[in-house]
Homo-oligomer: A and B are copies of this chain.
Amino acid sequence: MLTLEHAQKIVAAALAASREKGLKPMGIVVLDARGALRAAAVEDGASLERWRVAYGKARGAISLGVSSRMIEKMAQDRPYFIGALGSVLTEGIVPVPGGVLIRDPAGAVIGAAGASGDTSDNDEAALLTALGAAGLAS
């Protein structure tokens, strides 16, 4: 089960990874297995809705049980599917990399994290580094 301590570690480690690489102002959001927001941080200079993009990446991952990188592949294969999903899910999703599942050491999904600010690939890389630093996996 994802704890607040986990969530705060992931946020702190993702910001650290982003700053070490010199990425643009970043928004980081961590959700638990229910999709509930547990911790978030948005850096100075981030655009107005940056946090919602990060949230949408994480929300898509936990909603469908795959990374938002995988959801991007689904969107490329069947754009009408991902386009229409927004009208049936509780909340919208953001189908580009930067949303990852969070798994405990036994492999169980305990939440999802989202990042937005730099390129989608860099956003995702910061999260994967952070999960490792927190002793978790994706």
Contact = CB atoms under 8 A, between A and B. Distances in A.
A39 B42 contact: yes
Q: Is the interface of A mostly helix, strand, loop or mixed?
A: mixed
A91 interface: yes
Count of identical protomers in the assembly: 4
Nearest to A2: B44
Interface stretch (A76-84, A121-129, A130-138): A76-84
B39 A41 contact: yes
Interface of A: 3-4, 7-8, 33-44, 46-53, 55-56, 59, 62-65, 72, 75-76, 78-96
A37 B88 CA distance: 14
A15 B115 CA distance: 24
Given A83-B83, A95-B84, A90 B44 contact: no
Contacts of A78: 72, 96
Given A7-B41, A84-B92, A88-B94, 12 more contacts: A37-B51, A39-B40, A47-B62, A48-B63, A48-B65, A53-B64, A75-B81, A75-B84, A79-B79, A80-B95, A81-B95, A86-B86
Given A39-B42, A87-B91, A48 B75 contact: no
Contacts of A39: 40-42
B63 A47 contact: yes
Contacts of A96: 78, 81
